[in-house]
Amino acid sequence: MNRNRMGKGKRGVAAVMTAALSTVLLLGGALPAGAQAGQPDTLKSSDSRSSAAPFSASSRKTELRKEEASKGNAGLTKEELQRLNTVMELIQRQYYQSVDRDKLVSGALSGMMEALGDPYSTYMDVKAAKQFSEAVEGAFGGVGAEVASEGGKLVIVAPIKGSPAEKAGLAAKDVILSVNGVGLSGMPISEAVAKLRGPKGSKAELVILRAGRSTPFSVQVVRAEIDVETVYAKRLDRGIGLIEIRQFSLNTAERFAAELDRLEKGGLKGLVIDVRNNPGGILPVVEGIVQPFVPKGKPILQIEQRGHAAEKVLSEGSGKDYPVAVLMNKGSASASEILAGALKESAGAVLVGETSFGKGTVQVSYDRDLEGGLVKMTIAKWLTPGGTWIHRAGIKPDLAVKPPVLYTASRLTRSGIIAADTISEDAKNLQVMLQGLGYKPGRLDGYYNSSTADAVREFQKASGLKASGRADLPTQEKLEAAVQAWVRSGEHDAQLEAAVKALQGGSGARK
């Protein structure tokens, strides 16, 4: 089935929802960490009864009730309620300590959502729901990283650009094992996120396990107030424009349109859209951003709900007369992947970088009758225009380009001096950093030999430190600061360089 959701009188994905719906989501992670790192990823939908078949709110709600009732899923039966009441009464009467009643109810609701086995479906108590609502407004305090719960572990989907998490070197797929000495394994995600929150200027000591590394490392993150500016644009050489989208929040489409108009008025020979480390956002927002690039009648994506065939969302746009490249990496999730898939399959864009995160589901949030709490739940799959479900697989780039090694270098544990004539993970990471900065450690296998000591000595001289050749803590601190400055300079972005070259007719360009 095809449907134009962008035309007059069409409410888009909001028309899918029942009257209990408050929010439509395309989050990269289950909850935003450290005060909602992925905060602008929601859309408030109205409570109206759309007549847009087959997804009008009232008719769909009635249909679902009939379907659920026929399967015995319309709600708890008397027997099920009795079992819950029995357990509640037993705890209140006989448990050896007094227990907060609200905590028990929240625990039962959380357990129900956790039983789905879906990291993107969760119950939030009043405190967590308040944090989530603050996230929707676009400003928050914390470490600045989108997170998800996978197998009982808290996993980073993407750090927000410019956030404390990014500055500390955290990366997509990092597992946060503990915060300030408190282990997070098996902890409900709302509680884990609360541990990451804190006042501006407070410190969070995180223990991180990184893929490909056997030993966890510690990193200290100073929490900050983060007001996410979601769109940045600039003109590159030879008529190429660059627009970076950091998240798809409520005002992102408007800001994107304004920046695109400004670039086009100056003349464009090509456009790079950068969604690296963009954890996702609001579905109608990404639809609105993509639409001008996709010719009228071509699909932007497909939505597939339980019991219904996939439905194509068609564009009302006119397309562009200049080539487009999309920059993506393993931190590009959900709405970012919708953009990449739509522009590749329906607008001929070239994808540059690394395989994306792989999140192909749509969530909604419900807050009615929950007394301040909130349920976020997966209600549909989304597919690319051609019908591919990218969940857990991601989208592969047309032009695969890995970032320079310093972009993904692991942090040093700073547990002490990295001793000469020893083998360690820290020595290996030290060697990688030195080589990336232009020094010559002689090897990259973690054995701290005389060549490594010579490279350390040269770095110390250049940094105004005592040239001892010993990797003491001041040297480690200076080295990591030099790496961060190198990365933030933006002068070594091999992926962006490849995208520009592709647009100018080099390898991977689409004609």
**pLDDT tens across 225-260, in order?**
866 678 999 999 999 999 999 989 888 999 999 999
Give 72's pLDDT tier (boundaries 50, 70, 90): low
Give 2's pLDDT tier (boundaries 50, 70, 90): low
How far apart are alpha carbons 40 and 116 in whole angstroms? 25
CATH superfamily of 136-227: PDZ domain (2.30.42.10)
Handedness of CA 377, 155, 166, 256 (dihedral sign): negative
Q: For residue range 328-364, list pLDDT tens digits in order.
A: 999 999 999 999 999 999 999 999 999 999 999 999 9
Tokens 């950093």 correspond to what residue? 433
pLDDT at 41 over 80: no
pLDDT at 9 over 90: no
Give residue 328's pLDDT: 98
How far apart are alpha carbons 305 and 383 in whole angstroms? 11
pLDDT at 321 over 70: yes
Give residue 48's pLDDT: 27
pLDDT at 1 over 70: no
Q: Which CATH class is domain 231-360+385-402?
A: alpha beta
Per the residue annotation, which of 291, 363, 431, 495 is the catalytic one?
A: 363
Lowest-pLDDT range of 16-30, 173-187, 224-238 = 16-30
If you average pLDDT over residues 123-132, what whole number do you get? 84
Answer with the residue of higher pLDDT: 167 or 206: 206
If you average pLDDT over residues 443-450, what whole number do you get? 96
Per the residue annotation, which of 56, 106, 315, 334 is the catalytic one?
A: 334
Q: What percent of the chain has pLDDT over 90?
A: 60
If you average pLDDT over residues 440-447, what whole number do you get? 96
Q: For residue range 384-437, list pLDDT tens digits in order.
A: 999 999 999 999 999 999 999 898 888 888 888 999 999 999 999 999 999 999
pLDDT at 114 over 70: yes
How far apart are alpha carbons 488 and 477 in whole angstroms? 17
How far apart are alpha carbons 218 and 160 in whole angstroms? 20
CB distance 181 to 152 below 8 Å? no
pLDDT at 135 over 90: no
Tokens 């946060």 correspond to what residue? 176
pLDDT at 58 over 50: no
DSSP SS3 for 253: helix
Give residue 403's pLDDT: 92
pLDDT at 183 over 50: yes
Q: Domain segments of the chain: what residues? A: 7-128, 136-227, 231-360+385-402, 406-488
Lowest-pLDDT range of 60-69, 130-139, 273-282 = 60-69
**Element housing 206 (H / E):** strand 203-209
Give 93's pLDDT tier (boundaries 50, 70, 90): very high
The residue among 28, 26, 31 whose CA lies nearest residue 13 is: 26
pLDDT at 106 over 80: yes
How far apart are alpha carbons 8 and 104 in whole angstroms? 47
Give residue 49's pLDDT: 27
Give residue 414's pLDDT: 81
CB count, 10 Å around CB of 125?
Answer: 23
Give residue 169's pLDDT: 85
The highest-confidence range among 15-24, 113-122, 455-464, by mean pLDDT, is 455-464
How far apart are alpha carbons 37 and 196 in whole angstroms? 10
CB distance 142 to 35 below 8 Å? yes
Give residue 506's pLDDT: 52
Give residue 139's pLDDT: 56
- Is 359 a residue of the active site? yes
C-alpha 316 chain-centroid distance: 28
Provide CATH code, domain 406-488: 1.10.101.10
Output phi, psi for 260, to 5 deg. Answer: -65, -45
CB count, 10 Å around CB of 203?
Answer: 12
CB distance 34 to 160 below 8 Å? no
pLDDT at 322 over 60: yes
Give residue 128's pLDDT: 83
Domains 231-360+385-402 and 406-488 are alike in CATH topology: no
How much is the mean pLDDT over the chain?
A: 84
DSSP SS3 for 3: strand
pLDDT at 464 over 50: yes
If you average pLDDT over residues 36-56, what whole number do you get? 32
- The residue type at 98: S
- Is 234 a residue of the active site? no
The residue among 402, 338, 331, 403 whose CA lies nearest residue 161 is: 331
Helix axes of 78-94 and 101-114: crossing angle, nearest 10 degrees: 140
